[in-house]
């Protein structure tokens, strides 16, 4: 199953107040594993950059002045996310609101909310009362944050992709025997069992070890395997 994890950086918190996207990043997953395909664009928001927003992501009026407007990258963005791929974001309605405002301004249909998977909602359900920021979840799952000096749409998408896989159960995804495409974000998931590097024995037991084993078995009272026809030890 193909999914896209995405993030935006903006000039503010409310598109209805005229705030715009200044950066967008996305990461492709197949079977909840990164494929290496990404989308990234810095965008001229065609408005001033408030100082408080610049402190968060580092983008300024000067650094974005020569970047393309959203309309210039929208075709590539829509091609990357496809027409029915699930879209994963953290506090997803925030990002969806900004993306849909930009799409509408460009004359495109907005993305339907049915395509959205919100990792914030999943984290709140799995860990009630705990920290649910992207940083907090990265720390919970031991995901390296050393590259993250400021917010960045592509880097945050890559971090969120790791968080999303962990939220969905990691490599040990659940009790189902089917492949990854059979598990959906709404399914019950189970914590991943720790991976241990057990040594592999590549030689047969000695006669002394066999004798110790037989002596141990002789001390067991009425073992279940004694009822198996033809069993002997």
Residues classed as catalytic:
151
Residues 6+ apart with CB under 8 A from 121: 92
95 has binding-site annotation: no
Query: What are the percentages of helix, strand and coil residues in the chain, rounded to 5?
Result: 40, 15, 45
156 has binding-site annotation: yes
Alpha helix segments (H runs only) across 1-129: 51-57, 61-64, 70-81, 92-105, 119-126
207 has binding-site annotation: no
CA–CA dist 68, 22 (Å, integer): 10
CA–CA dist 106, 72 (Å, integer): 9
Please answer whether residues 19 and 13 qualify as being in contact, where contact means their C-beta atoms are separated by less than 8 angstroms. yes
135 has binding-site annotation: no
211 has binding-site annotation: no
Task: Name the binding residues for a divalent metal cation.
Answer: 7, 9, 156
Extract the annotated binding site for substrate: 7, 9, 52, 57, 156
């Amino acid at each position: 199953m193909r999914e896209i994890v995405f993030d935006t950086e903006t000039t503010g918190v409310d598109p209805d107040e005229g705030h715009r996207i200044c950066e967008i990043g996305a990461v492709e997953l197949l079977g909840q594993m990164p494929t290496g395909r990404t989308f990234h664009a810095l965008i001229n928001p065609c408005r001033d950059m408030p100082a408080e927003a610049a402190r968060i992501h580092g983008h300024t009026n000067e650094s974005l002045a020569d970047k393309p407007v959203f309309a210039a990258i929208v075709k590539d963005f829509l091609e990357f996310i496809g027409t029915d791929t699930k879209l994963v974001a953290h506090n997803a309605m925030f990002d969806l609101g900004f993306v849909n405002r930009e799409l509408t301004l460009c004359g495109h249909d907005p993305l339907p909310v049915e395509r959205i998977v919100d990792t914030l909602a999943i984290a709140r359900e799995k860990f009630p009362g705990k920290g649910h920021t992207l940083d907090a979840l990265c720390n919970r799952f031991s995901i390296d944050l050393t590259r993250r000096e400021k917010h960045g749409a592509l880097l945050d998408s890559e971090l969120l992709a790791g968080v999303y896989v962990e939220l969905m159960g990691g490599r040990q995804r659940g009790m189902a025997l089917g492949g990854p495409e059979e598990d959906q974000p709404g399914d019950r998931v189970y914590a991943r069992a720790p991976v241990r590097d057990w040594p592999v024995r590549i030689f047969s037991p000695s006669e002394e070890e066999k004798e110790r084993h037989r002596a141990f078995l002789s001390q067991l009272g009425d073992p279940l395997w004694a009822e198996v026809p033809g069993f002997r030890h």
